[in-house]
Amino acid sequence: MFLIQCPWCGNRAETEYRYGGEAGISRPKDPDALSDAEWSDYLFYRSNPRGAHKELWNHAQGCRRWFEVERDTVSYKIARSYKLADRNSESGS
């Protein structure tokens, strides 16, 4: 069983969650100012690293909140999971 720690509910099975893709991608403030390449980069291109990856998860069958997880894409080891409000701090576990 692959456990993910919800910042509120604690460790729960992966089956309770929904994956939300790479974290930290914000919508461009002025889409009209973007070139087609820049816009498609925002829409479609993701870093897909081998190793540490920050990603969004939703606790779909639990508290239904979004949060961020720092996961190693090779070992699946989760370094930390934290509330979106804490994304710029080093807290969280």
Partner 1 sequence: MSDSSRRLHGLEFFLRSQQRPDTKASGIHARILDDVTHVNLRGNSNDAEFNRGVEKVLGQALPVEPNTVSIRESHIYWLGPDEWLVVSKAADSPGLATRLENTLRNIHSSVNDISGGQVTFTLSGENVERVLNKACTIDFDAGTFKPGHCAQSGLAKASVLIGCIEQSRTFELIVRRSFADYVARWLRHAARHHGIEFR
In the complex, the residues that contact partner 1 under the rule CB under 8 A are: 1, 8-10, 12-13, 15-16, 61-65
| Three-state DSSP state, 40 | helix
Pull the structure tokens for residue 22: 């790479």
CB contact set of 42 (below 8 Å; sequence gap of 6+): 25, 27, 28, 34
Within 63-82, the residues that bind Zn ion by CB under 5 A are 63
Instruction: Check residue 59 for interaction with Zn ion (CB under 5 A).
Output: yes
Tell me if 56 contacts Zn ion by CB under 5 A: no
Positions touching Zn ion (CB under 5 A) are 6, 8-9, 59, 62-63
